Amino acid sequence: MPRDFHSPGRSAVYACDGMAATSHPLASQVAIDTLKAGGTAADAAVAAAATLAVVEPHMTGIGGDCFCLVAKPGAPIWGYNGSGRAAAAARADILWDQGVRAMESHSPHRVTVPGAVEAWWAILQRHGRFGLDRALVPAIHYSEYGFPVAPRVAYDWAFSAQALRADPGASRHFLIDGRAPAAGDIMRFPALAATLKAIAARGPKAFYEEAGAEIVETLAPRGSWLTREDFANHRGEEVTPVTSDYRGLSVVELPPNGQGLAALVLLNILENFDLASLDPNGAERLHIALEAARLAFAVRDTHVADPAFMRVDASSLIDKGFARKLAGKIDRRKRAKLPPAPTPGGDTVYLTVVDRDRMAVSFINSLFSEFGAGIATEKSGILLHNRGACFVVDPGHPNAIGPSKRPMNTIIPALGVRDGRCELAFGVMGAHFQPMGHAHLITNLVDYGMDLQVAIDQPRVFYEGEGTIVERGISGAAIDGLTQRGHRVAVRERPWGGAQAVAIDWRRGLLIGASDGRKDGCAIGY
């Protein structure tokens, strides 16, 4: 399905030597500049991610986590889990005995050790030509000399102003006289610039030992269990991806503690339906997708956790027979009584870069909620994520908070592989929405043959609690059809997530990039 040139929109980007797609034009340009300077796709991805940590501070930062997939021709796909852990002293039973039944929004334990900086270093060590000293140069420049706030960034920033005012560090570094910046305002982060310079000069040690000490001091009065040793002991890990076939395309995700497994479960369920015969934006297709998602998220919420604590093997959850049983629970005529939906919220940046040698990097970095925990260190200017909010408190659950344990993590980069070669690097931002976003994009491409940009642009649906939440692009007829099937439909104030993708056309030697209009970003090739 090609783009309709009568309608507003954007074309996919075509190039041969390199392609980058990010959620901010400055980051996309940084990635291309890095490629032109002789860097690999990994160098470009880290440089772009660091830039996004400055120009999209509500979505990502050095105080967050990072996950990455790297595909090289003729080599196994490499995965990296750059998520941080809870404190060594963390105990679910202590919270349970105190009457705590959920990780509340104000809990000090929602902050876990940030994994991004160590992950950036590890990715460059394994796949880059440059070090952190060179990769961080653009981010240092923008944080020191300033950058204009982009329109979507400004729109989101305004929603968080009140929460930022509640924290001295966050108010100092991320507000202007107590208000959020407007589109076009020039923002500078001198404290963050100094911290980035220290990391560029001394590597991860400057973050996990030097800045880490201030993070611990900032969190201690709030009751956090984190210590300097928790930061000094942090290490990410190389992991083996998990894969499932969807109508001939192998979809590659990272294993738990990420939720990529839910995307594969969801696609496996959808494979049992002839989606190609349905209107891609019609009520029946959307109803099936919603029902399949509710089942897939029930699997996630029951089983996905730090893999050291999971009680079932990931391979059993992506078994095709298991998916057929789940698909049998879907009634095409009405919404079934299924487990409740995941908790809404959360924000992320996803980016992808492919270079001349066809190294494909699928890369995601996140603070989880907008501006993370809303807590920033006053001296070093580090905004802290709230990834620990994904823990549960029930001591009997595999995802219960515990000593040096990683929470279930929502950020999931992905790849599409056919005949042993990577032909798609993609991701869809939006916290809990991400598995739904992955499935929506893949089915748009595979079942409906959509152009890459068209596939990203299609209107989205998801759910919050017992409500079905749709974007404004969903037609009145589709909403009526969903309502008739028992959905309580509401239109969402802000769109669902964002997406970037790069496809590799091996036959023609072509790269095709696409970036979501729901964000400020773009794809750039050369």
Domain boundaries, the chain: 17-238+347-390, 240-345+412-416+431-498
**Does the pLDDT of residue 346 top 80, yes or no?**
no
Indicate the helix (H) or strand (E) that contains 499. strand 498-505
343 catalytically annotated: no
Please, what is the end-to-end C-alpha distance for the chain in angstroms?
25
Name all contacts of 316-325 with Cβ < 8 Å and 24+ positions apart.
Answer: 317/261, 317/265, 318/242, 318/244, 318/261, 318/264, 318/265, 318/268, 320/268, 320/271, 322/268, 323/265, 323/268, 323/269, 323/271, 323/272, 324/272
Averaged pLDDT, 10-19: 97
- The catalytic position among 195, 348, 377, 443 is 348
pLDDT-based confidence at 237, cuts 50/70/90?
Answer: very high
Predicted model pTM: 0.97
**CATH of the domain spanning 240-345+412-416+431-498, picked from 1.10.246.130, 3.30.479.30, 3.90.470.10, 1.20.1530.20:** 1.10.246.130
List pLDDT tens digits, range 448-475.
999 999 999 999 999 988 899 999 999 9
**Does the pLDDT of residue 7 top 90, yes or no?**
no
Averaged pLDDT, 506-519: 97
**Does the pLDDT of residue 344 top 50, yes or no?**
no
Averaged pLDDT, 375-387: 97
pLDDT for the residue 347: 63
Distance (Å, rounded) from C-alpha 367 to C-alpha 387? 7
Among residues 40, 129, 26, which one has the least CA distance to residue 360?
40
The encoded tokens of residue 380 equal: 């070093």
Distance (Å, rounded) from C-alpha 270 to C-alpha 479? 21
